[in-house]
Amino acid sequence: MSMNPARAAGSDIAELRQLVGSCTACELCRGAKLGVPGEGPLPSEIMFIGEAPGYHEDQQGTPFIGASGQFLNELLGKIDLDRTQVYITNVVKCRPPGNRDPLPDEMAACRPYLDRQIALVDPRMIVTLGRFSMSRWFPGGRISQIHGQPKTVDGRIIVPMYHPAAALHQGALKATIEADFLKLPRYLANMRQLLETEQAAEKPKLEQSRLF
């Protein structure tokens, strides 16, 4: 009998963390010191999805704590948020050797964890950081053309962004990422308003149904 994929990736976030820590679904576990499941409150309104753990993340088991993480913290500060208010994870949970790009089979092996995290965190907005998380929702999309432009998928806003490391390597992108971050509160406010309008429209129906 095949196992339910949701159960295979953990029935709750604690089990998911445990499973990531002992995962052998691809080769990355051989070179990694620690699996890096992700962190943040449940539920979280915003979820950030990066690429893969780097050296520091692998040493400590925490996502985005190296140079990219410092910059991500700065960006969050610009919209009056900090890391305790958002969920942060990666497409793959173990560090690829030498920080190389994750391979398609590694991303596929790790996908049940990300799917399960999205279900458990239930974010209103997902911000993809870099091309590997972007390609899931924007296949064939080019970050230079679509960065900062949201679309709605299954009731969630998906916003593609440059990876913070890109700005650290190409200074000209710093202002672009900052400008994209500053749009996030407006997108969330629009989404909240839309949900409220929908709920208000549902209410009379509910009240009416109580009559019968």
Q: Residue numbers of the site for ligand URA (CB under 6 A)?
A: 50-54, 57, 63-64, 66, 68, 90
Kindly state the smallest distance separating residue 178's Cβ from ligand URA, in Å.
18
Q: Are 149 and 180 in contact (CB under 8 A)?
A: no
Nearest residue (CB) to ligand URA, 63 versus 112: 63
Nearest residue (CB) to ligand URA, 44 versus 68: 68
Kindly state the smallest distance separating residue 91's Cβ from ligand URA, in Å.
8
Q: Which helix (H) or strand (E) holds 152?
A: strand 151-153
Nearest residue (CB) to ligand URA, 54 versus 160: 54
Kindly state the smallest distance separating residue 53's Cβ from ligand URA, in Å.
5
Look at phi and psi of residue 148 and say left if phi exceeds 0, alpha if psi is from -120 to 50, else beta.
left
Nearest residue (CB) to ligand URA, 89 versus 191: 89
Distance CA 18, CA 138 (A): 30
Residue whose CB is nearest to ligand URA in the complex, by number:
50
C-alpha distance from residue 119 to each of 86, 126, 128, 189, 204 (Å): 15, 12, 16, 22, 29
β partners of residue 4: none
